[in-house]
């Protein structure tokens, strides 16, 4: 039996798009679920667009998210090298084989000629494909043109009149007619390997069993299957994942709030939150609840991948962010929120403060905000808080400040004393207190906050609204 091996094969031409992150994640889940290998391969044969710093950044991003790989550019492995730019010698041998067996031929058509041919076909209402200009050139002509220094690409000769079938892991049985597929370039004029070739060859040589990739690749698959068949190599099983779209159904882009993993990371989302959202994008869970990342592989089922476009939704992500914060260890949360750098929080109270505000955190900056509200200088009350303070009136706060000054230090004692003196109850008792003490109408439970706040600050915050007093 062929053990599971999956891969993520990004082209390092930019920061990781969330669609690619989901692809990486699903391949990782499949490998981990089956105890197999997960390979990271850099598809960097396009020298103009690929950059080393993007490769570094994407490895860093994947590691941050918690997706680890067993073989890859940094750690090596049995099928090294894992950067396609370093695999030129491997490719050369297979180009020779295809050329010798007449499965591939040099093509001298210039980009201009090809563009004209495309235009002509399109205006005749036909799908554009290579017209076959160089498919049957005489060997002598090929030899003399090459000898005279003309540059050529290498094209794969697609066999005519064939049907190519495969069983897509997500979309079921697929069938393509080879007559609809033009001969395609497998080596560029500069000698570098083209995507169709290096991608399929490496999957086979790296013994990849299953390829999950974006549905935009589905029409590439019959080409790659034909290529591997000609080389006598085994093709992986392919599964094409539905497109990732924004909440309005359009392809995911920056205007949906974020489109790359970097952006989400910079906005302060936790890895576990992102993974919980991605796990549900185009994948229907059997049991719907929060998943710890190390339990996700067991919940992943190829048979539950869907064909409908998957919607990335920041509100959903926010929901999982709150769950992630709820489930995070105190150390993780402290690092995330930069607790140690918040000088205003006394060290003895750090742990209690973190737990008191945990339910109200959503972004790392929220921790600093609450630290300032509890231990530092209180910002001006927000508008609705101000309204509540004014509605309660000066007598209310005079009563509160006096009660606190005479020992009513817990929220219970304070509330009881104020209620007795002013008759306020329920919301009109607690809201003004919260507004005056925190500057907001919503937030963490007031009782624990009161225990953390320095007593002089509490009294001053209450007194501030108690009017001029009767001197
Ligand atoms: N380098 C290709 C891409 O980034 C890989 C496609 C595939 O997964 O086969 O789209």
Q: Candidates 5, 11, 25, 73: which one to mutate for ligand 1, based on the most atoms within 8 Å of Cβ?
A: 11
**CATH number, span 254-328:** 1.10.1160.10
Does the pLDDT value for residue 59 go beyond 60?
yes
CA–CA distance, 202 with 171 (Å, rounded to integer): 24
* 427-438 and 383-392 helices, crossing angle to 10°: 120
Give 173's contacts (C-beta < 8 A, 6+ positions apart): 165, 166, 167
- Answer yes or no: are the C-beta atoms of 412 and 401 closer than 8 Å: no
Percent of the chain with pLDDT over 70: 99
Q: What is the DSSP string of 443-469?
A: -S-HHHHHHHS-HHHHHHHHHTTS-S-
Task: Give first-to-last CA distance, the chain, whole Å.
Answer: 91
CA–CA distance, 93 with 400 (Å, rounded to integer): 86
Does the pLDDT value for residue 1 go beyond 60?
no
pLDDT of residue 414: 98
CA–CA distance, 164 with 325 (Å, rounded to integer): 49
pLDDT of residue 469: 57
Rounded to two decimals, what is the model's pTM?
0.94
CA–CA distance, 311 with 327 (Å, rounded to integer): 25
162-175 pLDDT, tens digit each: 999 999 999 999 99
Q: Candidates 7, 9, 222: which one to mutate for ligand 1, based on the most atoms within 8 Å of Cβ?
A: 9
Q: What is the mean pLDDT of residues 28-49?
A: 97
In the block, residue with structure tokens 């007031």: 446
Beta bridge partners of 238: 211
Give 279's contacts (C-beta < 8 A, 6+ positions apart): 25, 29, 285, 291, 296, 299, 300
Which numbered atom of ligand 1 lies nearest the CA of 220?
A: 9
pLDDT of residue 464: 97
- Hey, what are 249's tokens? 């159904």
Q: Candidates 8, 58, 195, 220: which one to mutate for ligand 1, based on the most atoms within 8 Å of Cβ?
A: 195
Q: Which fold has domain 87-206?
A: 3.90.800
Nearest CA to ligand 1 atom 4: 10
CA–CA distance, 425 with 460 (Å, rounded to integer): 23
**What's the sign of the alpha-carbon dihedral 25, 78, 99, 46?**
positive
Q: What is the mean pLDDT of residues 176-183?
A: 96
Beta bridge partners of 177: 163
Confidence at 262, pLDDT banded by 50, 70, 90: very high
CA–CA distance, 264 with 266 (Å, rounded to integer): 5
- Answer yes or no: are the C-beta atoms of 460 and 444 closer than 8 Å: no
pLDDT of residue 257: 83
Q: What is the mean pLDDT of residues 394-407?
A: 98
For residue 119, which of 400, 111, 34, 301 has the smallest C-alpha distance? 111
Q: What is the mean pLDDT of residues 454-464?
A: 97
442: which DSSP letter?
S
State the CB neighbour count (10 A cutoff) for residue 60. 13
pLDDT of residue 2: 54
How much distance in Å is there from the Cα of 201 to the middle of ligand 1? Answer: 13
Which residues are near ligand 1 (CB < 6 Å)? Answer: 9-11, 43, 199, 211, 213, 217
Q: What is the mean pLDDT of residues 101-123?
A: 97
- Answer yes or no: are the C-beta atoms of 73 and 42 closer than 8 Å: yes
pLDDT of residue 470: 47
User: Residue 448 to residues 96, 151, 329, 355, 442: CA-CA distances in angstroms?
Assistant: 75, 76, 20, 9, 14
Q: What is the mean pLDDT of residues 281-302?
A: 97
- Hey, what are 82's tokens? 């894992």
Collapse the DSSP code of 147 into the 3-class scheme (helix H, G, I; strand E, B; otherwise coil) and give the result: helix
Which numbered atom of ligand 1 lies nearest the CA of 43?
A: 1
Q: What is the mean pLDDT of residues 31-43?
A: 98
How much distance in Å is there from the Cα of 20 to the middle of ligand 1? Answer: 9
Q: What is the mean pLDDT of residues 100-116?
A: 97
Nearest CA to ligand 1 atom 8: 213
pLDDT of residue 258: 82
Q: What is the mean pLDDT of residues 13-42?
A: 97
CA–CA distance, 350 with 229 (Å, rounded to integer): 63
CA–CA distance, 278 with 264 (Å, rounded to integer): 13
How much distance in Å is there from the Cα of 272 to the middle of ligand 1? Answer: 25
Does the pLDDT value for residue 225 go beyond 80?
yes
Q: What does pLDDT average to over the chain?
A: 96
How much distance in Å is there from the Cα of 323 to the middle of ligand 1? Answer: 32
CA–CA distance, 308 with 314 (Å, rounded to integer): 19
* CATH 1.10.1160.10 boundaries in the chain: 254-328
Note the helical H segments in 148-289.
195-205, 220-230, 261-266, 271-278
Collapse the DSSP code of 187 into the 3-class scheme (helix H, G, I; strand E, B; otherwise coil) and give the result: strand
406: which DSSP letter?
T
Does the pLDDT value for residue 253 go beyond 90?
no
CA–CA distance, 462 with 405 (Å, rounded to integer): 10
343-383 pLDDT, tens digit each: 999 999 999 999 999 999 999 999 999 999 999 999 999 99
pLDDT of residue 471: 40
* CATH 3.90.800.10 boundaries in the chain: 87-206
State the CB neighbour count (10 A cutoff) for residue 429. 19
Q: What is the mean pLDDT of residues 304-313?
A: 96
426-453 pLDDT, tens digit each: 999 999 999 999 999 999 999 999 999 9
């Amino acid at each position: 039996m062929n053990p599971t091996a999956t891969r993520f094969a990004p082209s390092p031409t930019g920061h990781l798009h969330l669609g690619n992150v989901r692809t990486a994640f699903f391949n990782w889940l499949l490998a981990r679920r089956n105890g197999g290998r997960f390979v990271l391969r850099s598809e960097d044969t396009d020298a103009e667009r690929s950059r080393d710093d993007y490769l570094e950044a994407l490895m860093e991003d994947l590691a941050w998210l918690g997706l680890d790989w067993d073989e890859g550019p940094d750690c090596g492995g049995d099928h090294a090298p894992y950067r396609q730019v370093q695999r030129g010698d491997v490719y050369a041998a297979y180009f020779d084989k295809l050329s010798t067996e007449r499965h591939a031929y040099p093509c001298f058509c210039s980009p201009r000629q090809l563009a004209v041919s495309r235009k002509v076909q399109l205006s005749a209402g036909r799908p554009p494909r290579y017209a076959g200009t160089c498919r049957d050139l005489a060997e002598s002509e090929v030899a003399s043109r090459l000898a005279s220094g003309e540059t050529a690409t290498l094209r794969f000769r697609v066999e005519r009149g064939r049907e190519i079938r495969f069983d897509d892991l997500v979309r079921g049985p697929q069938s393509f007619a080879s007559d609809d597929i033009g001969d395609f370039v497998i080596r560029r004029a500069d000698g570098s390997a083209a995507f169709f070739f290096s991608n399929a060859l490496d999957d086979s040589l790296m013994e990849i069993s299953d390829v999950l990739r974006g549905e935009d690749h589905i029409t590439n698959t019959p080409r790659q299957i034909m290529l591997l068949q000609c080389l006598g190599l085994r093709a992986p099983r392919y599964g094409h994942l539905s497109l990732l779209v924004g909440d309005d159904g359009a392809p995911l882009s920056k205007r949906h709030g974020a489109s790359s993993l970097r952006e989400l990371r910079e906005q302060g989302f936790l890895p576990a939150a992102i993974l919980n959202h991605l796990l549900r994008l185009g994948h229907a869970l059997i049991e719907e609840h929060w998943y710890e990342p190390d339990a996700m592989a067991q919940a992943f089922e190829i048979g539950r991948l869907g064909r409908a476009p998957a919607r990335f939704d920041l509100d959903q992500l926010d929901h999982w962010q709150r769950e992630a914060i709820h489930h995070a260890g105190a150390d993780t949360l402290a690092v995330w929120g930069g607790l140690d750098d918040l000088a205003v929080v006394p060290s003895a109270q750090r742990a209690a403060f973190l737990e008191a505000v945990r339910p109200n955190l959503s972004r790392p900056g929220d921790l600093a905000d609450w630290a300032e509200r509890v231990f530092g200088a209180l910002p001006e009350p927000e508008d609705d808080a101000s309204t509540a303070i004014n509605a309660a009136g000066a007598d209310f706060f005079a009563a509160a400040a006096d009660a606190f000054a005479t020992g009513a230090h817990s929220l219970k004692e304070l509330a009881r004393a104020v209620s007795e003196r002013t008759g306020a109850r329920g919301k009109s008792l607690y809201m003004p207190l919260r507004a005056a003490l925190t500057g907001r109408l919503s937030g963490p439970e007031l009782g624990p906050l009161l225990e953390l706040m320095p007593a002089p600050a509490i009294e001053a915050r209450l007194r501030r609204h108690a009017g001029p007093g009767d001197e």
